[in-house]
């Protein structure tokens, strides 16, 4: 019998009525002849409520205690769903992260999964039980509760699917799949039937918030076939799997935009070896992720270095950089906050040449100036003036034939 892991996010279990709808869907899947394991998040709003309680108690809550607190949310939903299913005559049983054997490292509030034992789940499946598993949580070596960070329930589902060698892991969420672009910006955007792990990873890291990045990575590494589907309407959703011919036929799978970056430019940097390390060392130590770096060709002995950082880290980055500027005797620092990054993603780029030049052409035709460029095997990103972001996305979406392509 085929085994499916289903994961329902917070908006899908946000009330008793919604939990009953999840029970309907689980019952249907069961009656269609599948073995299944269900992974749940906390009710939407619950995690925020608990975080607020903690912040009322103390300004900087201890992280171990935070995990003890936050891990209660999923226990409530799994108990309620298991009750609902048992009330309908299905043999369901709830399991915490510990009971499933989700072993993590010791870093509270953002633990990494080290191992998934899943003995009790295997046993339950053998007995014909439907296991209902608390997402987002595990235990460390000391047997203390840990949590996997926001969106961690996706990771629980994927890790369980890998451990159980499930035939599919379906992520039920409030959107019905992965789109060629954000439909609120591009009304003609299409839902993708299939997308590769790599594309999905790039899309996740570029701000498409359908799946947590770490869970996509995990799925790719363990070859878990993922499906993203809406828990509110019927539909086949988007399949995330290994690259295939279909995916390669299209040069570009999707267009995304990201407003969460800011640009720093250090002007008049002495052009000598070791300068980059002096600049970026302290930034990296402060755990600030630098996305793009451009070093202008030097004029004489001086050069300019531009780079982007997450907008939330701008303040911290500035104070670090200003110190460095003095040390290395550069001229000054300039900040541009009103930037945005527009990106094309697609495994087809590997075999289709000319995607980059076509992208530059389209942007130039719209009068959009490109400030920075970065490329990878399956992605091209340009930093542009923020005010042109929607225009750029729409123009690229049309130019690369995503509007009219058949699904």
Query: Do 102 and 112 form a contact (C-beta atoms < 8 A)?
Result: no
Query: Do 202 and 215 form a contact (C-beta atoms < 8 A)?
Result: no
Q: According to CB under 8 A, which residues from 49 to 108 bind a second copy?
A: 50, 53-54, 56-62, 64-66, 68-69, 71-72, 75-76, 78-80, 82-84, 86-87, 93-94, 96, 98-99
Q: What angle, rounded to 10 degrees, do the helices at 46-57 and 72-87 form?
A: 150
Closer residue to a second copy (CB): 84 or 381: 84
Minimum gap (Å) between residue 141 Cβ and a second copy: 13
Closer residue to a second copy (CB): 153 or 196: 153
Minimum gap (Å) between residue 1 Cβ and a second copy: 24
Query: Do 203 and 379 form a contact (C-beta atoms < 8 A)?
Result: no
**Binding letters toward a second copy, positions 226-255, x by CB under 8 A:** ------------------------------
The H-or-E segment that residue 40 falls in is strand 35-40
DSSP state of 290: P
Q: Quote the CA–CA distance of 348 and 351 in Å, as a whole number.
A: 6
Residue 260 interacts with a second copy (CB under 8 A)? no
Minimum gap (Å) between residue 100 Cβ and a second copy: 11
User: Which residues 6+ apart lie within 8 Å of 93 measured at CB?
Assistant: 82, 124, 129, 130, 131, 132
Piece in contact with a second copy (CB under 8 A), picked from 139-147, 153-161, 361-369, 376-384: 139-147
- Kindly state the number of chain residues that form the binding site for a second copy, as judged by CB under 8 A: 38
User: In the set 31, 33, 126, 143, which binds a second copy (CB under 8 A)?
Assistant: 143
Strands (E), 191-301: 194-196, 226-230, 238-241, 254-258, 261-270, 293-295
Residues that bind a second copy (CB under 8 A): 16, 19-20, 50, 53-54, 56-62, 64-66, 68-69, 71-72, 75-76, 78-80, 82-84, 86-87, 93-94, 96, 98-99, 143-145
């Amino acid at each position: 019998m085929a085994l499916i892991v289903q994961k329902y996010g917070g908006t899908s279990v946000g009330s008793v009525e919604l939990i009953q709808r999840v029970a309907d869907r689980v019952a249907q899947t069961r009656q269609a002849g599948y073995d299944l394991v269900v992974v749940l998040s906390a009710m939407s709003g619950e995690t925020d409520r608990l975080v607020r309680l903690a912040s009322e108690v103390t300004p900087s809550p201890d992280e171990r205690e935070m995990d003890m607190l936050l891990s209660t949310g999923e226990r409530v939903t799994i108990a309620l769903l298991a009750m609902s299913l048992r009330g309908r005559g299905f043999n369901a049983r709830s399991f915490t992260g510990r009971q499933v054997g989700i072993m993590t490292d010791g870093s509270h509030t953002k633990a990494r999964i080290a191992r998934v034992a899943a003995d009790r789940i295997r046993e339950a499946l053998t007995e014909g039980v439907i296991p209902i598993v608390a997402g987002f949580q595990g235990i460390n070596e000391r047997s203390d509760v840990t949590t996997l960070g926001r969106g961690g329930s996706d990771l629980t589902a994927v890790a369980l699917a890998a451990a159980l060698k499930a035939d599919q892991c379906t992520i039920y969420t409030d959107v019905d799949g992965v789109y060629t672009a954000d439909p609120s910006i591009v009304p003609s955007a299409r839902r993708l039937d299939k997308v590769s792990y790599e594309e999905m990873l790039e899309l996740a890291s570029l701000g498409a918030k359908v799946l947590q990045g770490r869970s996509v990575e995990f799925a790719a590494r363990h070859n878990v076939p993922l499906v993203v589907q809406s828990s509110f309407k019927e539909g086949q959703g988007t399949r995330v799997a290994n690259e295939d011919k279909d995916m390669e036929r299209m040069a570009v799978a999707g267009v995304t935009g990201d407003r969460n970056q800011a640009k720093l430019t250090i002007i008049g940097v002495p052009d000598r070896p070791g300068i980059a390390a002096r600049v970026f060392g302290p930034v990296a130590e402060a755990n600030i992720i630098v996305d793009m770096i451009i070093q202008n060709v030097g004029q004489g002995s001086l050069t300019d270095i531009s780079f982007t950082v997450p907008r939330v880290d701008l303040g911290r980055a500035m104070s670090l950089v200003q110190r460095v500027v003095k040390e290395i005797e550069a001229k000054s620092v300039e900040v541009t906050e009103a930037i945005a990054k527009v990106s094309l993603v697609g495994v087809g780029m590997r075999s289709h040449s000319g995607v980059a030049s076509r992208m530059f052409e389209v942007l130039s035709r719209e009068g959009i100036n490109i400030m920075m460029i970065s490329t990878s095997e399956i992605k091209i990103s340009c930093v542009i003036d923020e005010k042109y972001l929607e225009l750029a996305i729409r123009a690229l979406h049309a130019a690369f034939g995503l509007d009219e392509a058949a699904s």
